Amino acid sequence: RWRARRLAVRRHAVALRFRAAAAMSTLLVSRPQYAWLKELGLEEENDGVYDGRWGGGGEVSLEMGKIYVEGVGEVQEYVDVCDYAVGLSRMIGGPVLPSERPGHALIEQWNPVGLVGIITAFNFPVAVYGWNNAIALICGNKLSISYDLFTFVCVCVQLNRIVANVLGQNNLPGAICSMTCGGADIGSAIAKDERVDLVSFTGSTHVGKQVSLMVQERFGRQLLELGGNNAIVVFEDADLNLAVPSTVFAAVGTAGQRCTTTRRLMLHEGVHDAVVERLAKAYKQVRIGDPWDPSTLYGPLHTKQAVEQYLAAVEQAKQQGGTIICGGKVMDRPGNYVEPTIITGLAHNAAIVHTETFVPILYVLKFKTEEEAFSWNNEVKQGLSSSIFTKDLGRIFRWLGPKGSDCGIVNVNIPTSGAEIGGAFGGEKHTGGGRESGSDSWKQYMRRSTCTINYSKDLPLAQGIKFE
């Protein structure tokens, strides 16, 4: 049965790869060096093939608002996780341990946890589902997935069709992966139901805390991937040609709606003014527009509520002493567009700086010493992602060590966003402590038993205890 499910995941990956690769082939088929594609019968338009406009990444872009290439990237991420999960399935199992008792053996046995309830987030409707779905399946589990009301077509319909088709091809019931689209009532039902053996929740810290309390009340298991008030720290010896574009990418990507978005930028006083000037120029060059336009780098916010949160945060920042360097306004165009914003002059411990707002606002702070910067990075309640830019090897290893960053993702000379599936993804403190993907991620979707086997005719006790 497990082999069948692993095969199903593999075929699932192939199906998704076909759709993603098809989008690429439409771009290549007209190039001379790829003339052989036409010899295979491919054209610019191919019946039944994902053409890069509808389905998969295109619908993620349409419904969520992120730019098209990011939507396609999400589908590719699901493909990659399926492949990764198949390989990971070969590693499932525990060791045979030596026993202190003669004629005995200890075995660490892993079994499926049972039913996994997955509550996803609007900003990564395909990727979050994929990370949980693929790995939970290769562990032999059943799944119940809940989506928010804003990603109905791309997730509840399209993914459900793909998964159901793959399961059916492998003579497995489609109910192994059941899907529901709804609001807080669905999420609460999953969290409270004792038949759900593991609840995996991705979303805000505020909602995650409520879900966690519901699960804890019934002593259930949980995997939480919550918010992140992430920081980039730029030291005086940093390569600014790396630091500046990295900050722009991580701060405005997905219009500031990634859990790994850079929200705080800490600049050494020696480079503060130069970096702010370069950032302001770069922000003005960010191409804002229709997410489906290939030239667009920055799209709209997800909802009107997010626009209101943006305006409230800008106002609070000004009241708390902040200066708007660029942005700060709602754009006069159809849709939920706001200007990507840079704010300086705030205290490192200002209330708004310590608040994660899921919008494209970057708070720039000026520091003097390494100790100060490390302390400021760690003083917020969340602990998801962090990064420093420096050439000092000693500082790099202090950053990675016990007195450095307290986050689950600790980077050097790269942005806070852009996590790879091969590494464990998740954070500490109010980020929830959960980890998705990574080398031992399968353990979260299984239960462990320690089995002692007596293959002798004697009955010795542990610790040398004897009853005479």
Q: Which amino acid is at 315?
A: E
Question: SS3 for 349?
Answer: coil
- Separation of alpha carbons 239 and 317, rounded Å: 29
Show the tokens assigned to 55: 């389905």
Selecting among 63, 225, 356, 436, the annotated active-site residue is: 225
**DSSP codes, 18-60:** HHHHHHHHHHHTTSGGGTHHHHTT--SS-TTS--SSSSTHHHH
Contacts of 362 (CB under 8 A, 6+ apart): 247, 251, 262, 263, 264, 265, 279, 340, 341, 342, 343
Q: Is 63 a catalytic residue?
A: no
Show the tokens assigned to 299: 């799209």
Show the tokens assigned to 284: 């003005």
- Separation of alpha carbons 112 and 197, rounded Å: 10
**DSSP codes, 232-295:** EEE-TTS-HHHHHHHHHHHHHGGGG-STT-EEEEEEETTTHHHHHHHHHHHHHT--BS-TTSTT
Looking at residue 351, the DSSP 8-state letter turns out to be: T
- Separation of alpha carbons 404 and 379, rounded Å: 12
- Separation of alpha carbons 417 and 258, rounded Å: 8
3-state secondary structure 416-428: CCCCCCCCCECCE
**DSSP codes, 139-154:** TT-EEEEEE-GGGIII
- Separation of alpha carbons 272 and 102, rounded Å: 67
Q: Which residues are catalytic?
A: 225
